Amino acid sequence: MTLPPEAMPRFELERKLRRSRVLNIVLGVVAVGGLLFGGIQWNAAQSGAAGTASTGDSAAGDNAGSAAVSHIRQIEGDPMAIGDIDAPVVLSEWVDFRCPFCAVVSRDTLPQVVKEYVDAGKVRIEMHDVAFFGEESVRAATAARAAGEQGRYFEFVKAVYDAAPESGHPELPTEELIAFAKVAGVPDLKKFEADMERQDLIDAVHASTAQAQSLGVTGVPFFAIGDQALSGAQPIEAFRQFIDQQLELAS
């Protein structure tokens, strides 16, 4: 017997939705042209490619087929970016703070990417937040932006993901986010708490989510360099090949 969605326990419904999303991402990749170890061809100008799944009720994909929306910022002093603004390669990363696979990449892979490529001036990493798992995701992303207002964005991201469970979506209530801000060394916690409620930061999270959907990002973690993409919690070897290929093209 299959229970209707409204009768399922929340964790079971989330599990089913997550499995369905992963399946659709795989189907979408196959439809676009197949997954390569070094990345997939990614048409950022076209959302709603065959086989991709919608992540919500947003109408962000209504402009499919219009001019490309650039996902590269390259803004001086960007709190959600790390690395030389003139680095030959910009690695864009999309994350949801409740995503366990994003946490795996944050803990196990990105520190090595930073050591080998960012610190060497070869790569700049620009973060993009999405709220694919509900209002709790919006709250967490807004908190990260609030930490970024005080120059502690990446420290906050690390604190959240270091404490993430191996599976499932943590609730990340306000008191936990404040605790993560303390761990991250956010200097003015009163300002942080006030900024967590700022409508402009909340709106920025919603706008980032809508832009991701319009670009065809239907699952996280998701990475892109130009029109090449890498999806999922890939091992460091996959990132090395992905980045090295793009560095060679940029040289």
Q: What is the CA radius of gyration of the chain?
A: 18
Pairwise pLDDT comparison (185 vs 37), residue with the higher score: 185
Q: Measure Cα distances from 205 to 1, 188, 196, 210 in Å.
A: 39, 22, 12, 9
- Of 122, 67, 116, 114, nearest in space to 90 by CA: 122
- The answer to whether 40 and 230 have CB atoms below 8 angstroms apart is yes
77-87 pLDDT, tens digit each: 999 999 999 99
152, pLDDT greater than 60: yes
Which CATH architecture is the domain 8-44+79-250 placed in? 3-Layer(aba) Sandwich (3.40)
User: What number of other Cβ atoms are within 10 A of residue 13's Cβ?
Assistant: 14
The rounded distance, in Å, linking the Cα atoms of 251 and 100 is: 35
Tokens of 137: 């995701």
Tokens of 75: 């803004």
pLDDT of residue 55: 37
Cα–Cα distance, 167 to 96 (Å, whole number): 14
The answer to whether residues 170 and 11 touch, using CB atoms and an 8 Å cutoff, is: no
pTM of the model: 0.76
pLDDT of residue 96: 98
Strands 89-95 and 123-129: parallel
